[in-house]
Amino acid sequence: MKFTKEEIEKVYNLPLTTLIFKAQEIHHKFQDPAGIQLCTLKSIKTGSCPEDCKYCPQSAHHNTFVEPERLLNTQVILRDALVAKANGASRFCMGAAWKCVPEGKQFDSVLNTVSEVSNMGLEVCVTLGTLKEDQAVRLKDAGASVYNHNLDTSREHYKNIITTRTYDDRLETISNVRKAGLEVCTGGILGLGEKEEDRIGLLWQLSNMEPQPDSVPINALVAVEGTPLENQEFVDSIEFVRAIATARIFMPKSIVRLSAGRTEMSEETQTLCFLAGANSIFMGDKLLTTPNPESNDDAALMKKLGLHPLDPQKAREIHELAEASL
Ligand code: SAM
Ligand code: DTB
Ligand code: SF4
Torsion of CA 275, 280, 286, 288, to 10 degrees: -120
Residue 324: its pLDDT value, please?
72
> What is the Cα 112 distance to its own chain's centre?
23
Apex 322 CA angle, 321 and 326, nearest 5:
120
Residue 326: its pLDDT value, please?
60
**Closest ligand 3 atom number to CA of residue 96:** 8
**Distance (Å, whole) CA 41 – CA 58:** 15
Q: What are the tens digits of pLDDT across the range 92-140? A: 999 999 999 999 999 999 999 999 999 999 999 999 999 999 999 999 9
Residue 88: its pLDDT value, please?
82
pTM higher than 0.75, yes or no? yes
273 is catalytic: no
**Distance (Å, whole) CA 142 – CA 111:** 6
Residue nearest to ligand 3 atom 2, measured at CA: 97
170 is catalytic: no
Mean pLDDT (whole number) for 262-268 = 97
**Distance (Å, whole) CA 26 – CA 83:** 34
For residue 323, what pLDDT band results from cuts at 50, 70 and 90?
low
Element (H, E) at 243: helix 237-250
Mean pLDDT (whole number) for 12-17 = 98
High-pLDDT (> 70) share of the chain, %: 98
Mean pLDDT (whole number) for 187-194 = 97
Domains of the chain: 5-325 (3.20.20.70)
Residue 87: its pLDDT value, please?
85
Mean pLDDT (whole number) for 41-64 = 96
C-alpha 110 – ligand 3 centre gap (Å): 18
Residue 319: its pLDDT value, please?
67
Residue 317: its pLDDT value, please?
74
Rg (CA), the chain: 18
Residue 236 has pLDDT above 80, yes or no: yes
For residue 295, what pLDDT band results from cuts at 50, 70 and 90?
confident
For residue 196, what pLDDT band results from cuts at 50, 70 and 90?
very high
Among 170, 178, 185, 199, which one carries the catalytic annotation? Answer: 185
100 is catalytic: no
Q: What are the tens digits of pLDDT across the range 34-52? A: 999 999 999 999 999 999 9
**Beta partners for 231?**
none
For residue 173, what pLDDT band results from cuts at 50, 70 and 90?
very high
Contact 131, 177 (CB under 8 A): yes
With a 6 Å cutoff on the Cβ, whether 96 touches ligand 3 is: no
